[in-house]
């Protein structure tokens, strides 16, 4: 009896073991089931190689309402191919991510659902259709969720709550799939239809096809050794396209294409070539050296109209502005090269002539704007008085007024005035000849009507007298205390409507009497502020400014002055370095003479190096001069060395007055970053919008690019908004 029971127990035990071994293995849980879980269904299975099969991506929300999920699943691309992802029947209706190739070997699914969300114990997210590529009998899961508890950048489930979604994924069930009946893929893709298209002077597009899905890359260069390659595109496709950029014009390039399939088999195409196109000429001719440019002597009835272009061109002219090149009827008699001339006849004395010129090069590029050539024919005897215009009484108070007017030629200034049209008083004659006139009438009675007329006499003593004008003085107002001066010592100022420039020093205004004095003291027109005349009137008149004695550095004093033929820039040649002289003020500062400027060819110019680094005598500060004429202080050695073009030997020592003549850079931006900053000393402040930029009167042409090293050296200031 005992033996029979024992035998029966053994038989039942063997049957249980057989059943257990017959059941498929179940993939392991990673994490826990305290909150939401993701799973793949089925979790195990055996499939025939080359035959598609489907698995479902599921979610258990653990009785919580959720509104978004991210399911990221890793797999081996040499063993499995993803044929499709089907979202039919998904409990999540909004798609925001779906990818099988970025990166390769990862399926990315992102879905959501509107409020109030969804609660489910077995909710379908998507169906993935797979296909086995090669035999595999895994001992562990081979379809794994990319999951780390609490990491919202990986697989995730989010609550539909008021805080915008709380992460609640606590565990995932991975899967393990067996593939049988297949053989390993050892055959590389077949490459065909290789083509270079969309060829420009700097780029081309290379395309090809493969007989199976594979990635894309191109080797290229000017020899069969190539030397460059495109970034690998890991997308598994059969139609391939790669863009090449940064190429040189009119250059033959070699290239070969490469594609690797999911099993890692690489196919490399044969060598091919293409030639980039030449750079298209889209620039119209540059016109300069127009003539005549001065007054012609009286009795001249014919002149030669001429100009020069920087390239061969055909030039036309018109006596009317704004005529299109194609509509101009007058073609220069000598034209087609770089020198152009035409004979103009029928000129008469005491007339001004203006001609408008446009040119077109052999590529069909015509000037859109007029190049103006203006000249006059003088009169034998000037018998015509000046033309008076814009006669205005302004700044009228109880005891004074300012009378201004303009003339069409330089002439002197005087005013007759009084309480009747007989006048009775007149101002002192201002003998300096000018076209803008301003005379102050003082000692007037309050609340009184005054008559006045202006008088101007030209250099030939032709007198012009205006009609009668009137103004009424204001009633008397007790003067308010004069405010204390507010201009800092060293300020350069002029009153609105007046050309006189003053230096503010020790609470006095000192007149700068001439351009020579202005230049010799190193002043810059860019530093001259325009103020109301009442501000200047607060200051006592001091002694006029006198020119300082300067010692010009020998390198610049003995420099050769050169200009490239056809271009206006003047340089001081110091050894083999070219120092740009940006304006007449600096030119005159060094006491240069225009007749000493030598004209050189472009080839000669290219033998020298144009340096843009300067420092003032006895000053350690180094500045970089930008092409727009702004100076840029290099605040430390680290920044200097961060620009590879900067060389310490290229620094030219200049007069402090030249340094002061330049306007400083105040607008900067980091290379490849659209944000513009206001630079004040070593502090940068972000100008938040283009509207603010424009409202403050900034100019986009004054913005300079800087590198990361320099950008980091400045302190972050308060944003401007």
pLDDT average, residue stretch 324-349:
91
Q: Alpha-carbon distance 536 to 507, whole Å?
A: 10
Q: Alpha-carbon distance 638 to 683, whole Å?
A: 17
In which element (H, E) is residue 656 found? helix 656-661
SS3 224: coil
pLDDT tens for 399-410 read 889 999 888 888
Instruction: Tell me the C-alpha to C-alpha distance, in Å, between residue 271 and each of 200, 255, 274, 703.
Output: 20, 6, 11, 46
Q: Which residues pair with 630 in a beta bridge?
A: 663
In which element (H, E) is residue 418 found? strand 400-418
Does the structure show a pLDDT above 90 at 475? Answer: no
Does the structure show a pLDDT above 70 at 321? Answer: yes
Residue with tokens 């300020």: 491
pLDDT-derived band at 9 (thresholds 50, 70, 90) equals low
pLDDT average, residue stretch 475-498:
69
Q: What is the mean pLDDT of the chain?
A: 86
Is the pLDDT higher at 498 or at 239? 239
pLDDT tens for 508-529 read 889 888 766 776 776 766 678 8
DSSP state of 525: G
User: Looking at residue 255, what is its pLDDT?
Assistant: 97
DSSP state of 301: -
> What b/e sequence results for 151-160 when a residue is b if at least 16 CB atoms lie within 10 Å of its CB, and e otherwise?
eeebbbbbbb
pLDDT average, residue stretch 50-77:
92
Does the structure show a pLDDT above 60 at 494? Answer: yes
- Report the C-alpha dihedral over residues 699, 702, 708, 712, rounded to 10 degrees: -80
pLDDT-derived band at 570 (thresholds 50, 70, 90) equals confident
Of 280-289, 353-362, 441-450, 586-595, the least confident: 586-595
Tell me which residue of 351, 350, 355 sits closest to 374, measured CA to CA: 355
DSSP per-residue codes, 582-603: -SHHHHHHTT--GGGPEEE-HH
User: Looking at residue 659, what is its pLDDT?
Assistant: 84
Does the structure show a pLDDT above 50 at 167? Answer: yes
pLDDT tens for 435-454 read 888 899 988 888 999 999 99
Q: Who's near 578: CB < 8 A, 6+ residues apart?
A: 562, 571, 572, 605, 608, 609, 610, 611
SS3 709: helix
On whether the CB atoms of residues 481 and 517 are closer than 8 A, the answer is no
Phi, psi values for residue 39, rounded to 5°? -150, 160
On whether the CB atoms of residues 501 and 543 are closer than 8 A, the answer is no
On whether the CB atoms of residues 105 and 146 are closer than 8 A, the answer is no
Instruction: Tell me the C-alpha to C-alpha distance, in Å, between residue 56 and each of 59, 83, 90, 155.
Output: 10, 14, 10, 16
> Does the predicted TM-score (pTM) go above 0.75?
no
Of 134-143, 206-215, 299-308, 477-486, the least confident: 477-486
Q: How many CB atoms lie within 10 A of CB 488?
A: 7
User: Looking at residue 481, what is its pLDDT?
Assistant: 44
Does the structure show a pLDDT above 70 at 67? Answer: yes
User: Looking at residue 19, what is its pLDDT?
Assistant: 36
Q: Alpha-carbon distance 377 to 298, whole Å?
A: 6
Residue with tokens 């297949």: 182
User: Looking at residue 195, what is its pLDDT?
Assistant: 96
Q: Which residues pair with 540 in a beta bridge?
A: 508
User: Looking at residue 182, what is its pLDDT?
Assistant: 66
pLDDT average, residue stretch 145-155:
92
On whether the CB atoms of residues 387 and 395 are closer than 8 A, the answer is no
pLDDT-derived band at 603 (thresholds 50, 70, 90) equals confident
On whether the CB atoms of residues 706 and 713 are closer than 8 A, the answer is no
SS3 306: strand
Q: Alpha-carbon distance 119 to 136, whole Å?
A: 37
pLDDT-derived band at 351 (thresholds 50, 70, 90) equals confident
Q: How many CB atoms lie within 10 A of CB 38?
A: 26
On whether the CB atoms of residues 307 and 287 are closer than 8 A, the answer is yes
pLDDT tens for 658-689 read 888 788 889 998 887 878 899 888 899 998 88
On whether the CB atoms of residues 531 and 496 are closer than 8 A, the answer is yes
pLDDT-derived band at 694 (thresholds 50, 70, 90) equals confident
Instruction: Tell me the C-alpha to C-alpha distance, in Å, between residue 619 and each of 209, 228, 657, 679, 714.
Output: 66, 47, 12, 22, 22
Tell me which residue of 63, 175, 194, 61 sits closest to 128, measured CA to CA: 175
User: Looking at residue 82, what is its pLDDT?
Assistant: 87
Strands (E), 36-93: 36-41, 44-48, 52-60, 66-74, 80-86
Q: Alpha-carbon distance 376 to 580, whole Å?
A: 34
SS3 103: coil
Q: Alpha-carbon distance 64 to 708, whole Å?
A: 49
Tell me which residue of 186, 333, 182 sits closest to 266, measured CA to CA: 186
DSSP state of 658: H
**For the chain, what is the radius of gyration of the CA atoms?**
42
Does the structure show a pLDDT above 80 at 137? Answer: yes
Burial environment of residue 328 by CB neighbours within 10 A (0 to 12, 13 to 18, 19 or more): middle
Question: How many CA within 13 A on the CB side of residue 193?
Answer: 9
Strands (E), 419-462: 425-426, 430-442, 449-457
Tell me which residue of 693, 686, 694, 682 sits closest to 670, measured CA to CA: 686
Q: How many CB atoms lie within 10 A of CB 343?
A: 12
pLDDT average, residue stretch 612-631:
87
SS3 570: strand
Instruction: Tell me the C-alpha to C-alpha distance, in Å, between residue 294 and each of 340, 377, 445.
Output: 18, 9, 49
Share of the chain above pLDDT 90, in %: 40
Please provide the distance, in angstroms rounded to a whole number, between the alpha carbons at the two ends of the chain. 99
On whether the CB atoms of residues 415 and 454 are closer than 8 A, the answer is yes
* Structural tokens at position 342: 């035409």
Q: Who's near 173: CB < 8 A, 6+ residues apart?
A: 27, 28, 29, 30, 37, 38, 39, 40, 43
Q: Alpha-carbon distance 204 to 276, whole Å?
A: 8
What is the β-pairing status of strands 156-159 and 66-74?
antiparallel
pLDDT-derived band at 15 (thresholds 50, 70, 90) equals very low
pLDDT-derived band at 155 (thresholds 50, 70, 90) equals very high
Chain Cα centroid distance, residue 672? 8
User: Looking at residue 225, what is its pLDDT?
Assistant: 93
On whether the CB atoms of residues 344 and 304 are closer than 8 A, the answer is yes
* Structural tokens at position 590: 């060094």
């Amino acid at each position: 009896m005992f033996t029979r029971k024992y035998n029966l127990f053994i038989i039942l035990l063997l049957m249980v073991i057989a059943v257990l071994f017959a059941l498929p293995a179940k993939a392991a849980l990673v994490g826990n089931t305290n909150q939401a879980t993701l799973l793949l269904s089925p979790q195990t299975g055996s499939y025939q190689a080359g035959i598609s099969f489907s698995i479902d991506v599921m979610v258990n929300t653990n009785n919580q309402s959720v509104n978004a999920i991210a399911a990221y699943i890793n797999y081996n691309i040499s063993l499995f191919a993803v044929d499709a992802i089907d979202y039919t029947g998904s409990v999540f209706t909004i798609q925001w991510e779906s990818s099988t190739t970025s990166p390769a070997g990862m399926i990315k699914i992102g879905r959501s659902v509107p409020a109030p969300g969804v609660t489910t114990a077995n909710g379908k997210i998507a169906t993935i259709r797979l296909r086995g590529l090669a035999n595999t009998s895994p001992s562990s899961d081979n379809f794994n969720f990319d999951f780390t508890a609490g990491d919202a950048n990986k697989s995730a489930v989010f609550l539909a709550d008021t805080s915008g979604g709380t992460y609640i994924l606590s565990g995932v069930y991975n899967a393990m799939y067996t593939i049988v009946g297949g053989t390993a893929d050892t055959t590389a893709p077949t490459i065909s239809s290789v083509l270079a298209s969309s060829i420009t002077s700097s780029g081309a597009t290379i395309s090809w096809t493969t007989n199976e899905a594979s990635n894309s890359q191109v080797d290229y260069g000017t020899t069969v050794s190539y030397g460059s390659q495109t970034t690998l595109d890991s997308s598994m496709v059969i139609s391939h396209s790669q863009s090449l950029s940064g190429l040189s014009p009119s250059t033959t390039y070699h290239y070969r294409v490469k594609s690797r399939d999911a099993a890692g088999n690489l196919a490399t195409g044969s060598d091919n070539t293409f030639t980039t196109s030449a750079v298209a000429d889209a620039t119209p001719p540059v016109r300069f050296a127009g003539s005549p440019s001065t007054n012609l002597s009286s009795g001249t009835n014919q002149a030669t109209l001429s100009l020069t272009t920087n390239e061969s061109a055909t030039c036309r002219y018109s006596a009317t502005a704004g005529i299109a090149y194609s509509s101009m009827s007058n073609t220069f008699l000598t034209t087609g090269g770089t020198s152009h001339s035409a004979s103009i006849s029928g000129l008469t004395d005491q007339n001004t002539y203006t001609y408008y010129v446009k040119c077109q090069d052999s590529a069909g590029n015509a000037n859109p704007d007029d190049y103006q050539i203006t000249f006059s024919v003088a009169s034998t005897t000037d018998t015509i008085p000046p033309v008076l215009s814009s006669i205005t009484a302004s700044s009228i108070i109880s005891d004074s007024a300012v009378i201004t007017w303009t003339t069409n030629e330089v002439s002197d200034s005087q005013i007759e005035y009084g309480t009747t049209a007989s006048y009775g008083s007149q101002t002192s004659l201002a003998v300096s000849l000018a076209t803008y006139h301003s005379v102050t009438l003082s000692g007037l009675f309050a609340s009184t009507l005054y008559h006045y007329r202006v008088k101007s006499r030209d250099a030939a003593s032709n007198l012009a007298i205006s009609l009668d004008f009137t103004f009424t003085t204001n009633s008397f107002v007790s003067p308010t205390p004069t405010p204390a001066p507010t201009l800092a010592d060293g300020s350069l100022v002029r009153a609105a409507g007046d050309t006189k420039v003053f230096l503010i020093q020790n609470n006095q205004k000192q007149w700068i009497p001439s351009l020579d004095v202005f230049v010799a003291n190193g002043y810059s027109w860019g530093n001259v502020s325009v103020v109301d005349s009442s501000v200047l009137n607060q200051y006592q008149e001091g002694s006029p400014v006198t020119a300082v004695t300067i010692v010009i550095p020998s390198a610049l004093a003995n420099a050769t002055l050169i200009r490239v033929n056809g271009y206006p820039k003047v340089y001081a040649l110091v050894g083999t370095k070219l120092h740009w002289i940006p304006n007449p003020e600096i030119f005159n500062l060094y006491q240069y003479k225009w007749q000493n400027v030598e004209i050189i060819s472009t080839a000669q110019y290219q033998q020298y190096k144009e340096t843009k680094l300067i420092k003032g005598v006895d000053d350690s500060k180094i500045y970089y001069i930008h092409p727009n004429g702004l100076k840029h202080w290099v605040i430390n050695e680290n920044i200097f060395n961060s620009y590879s073009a900067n060389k310490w030997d290229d620094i030219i020592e200049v007069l402090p007055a030249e340094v002061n003549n330049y306007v400083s850079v105040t607008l900067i931006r980091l290379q490849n970053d659209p944000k513009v900053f206001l630079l004040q000393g070593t502090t940068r402040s972000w100008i938040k919008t283009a509207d603010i930029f424009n409202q403050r009167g900034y100019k986009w042409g004054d913005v300079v690019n800087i590198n990361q090293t320099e950008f980091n050296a400045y302190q972050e200031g308060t944003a401007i908004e």
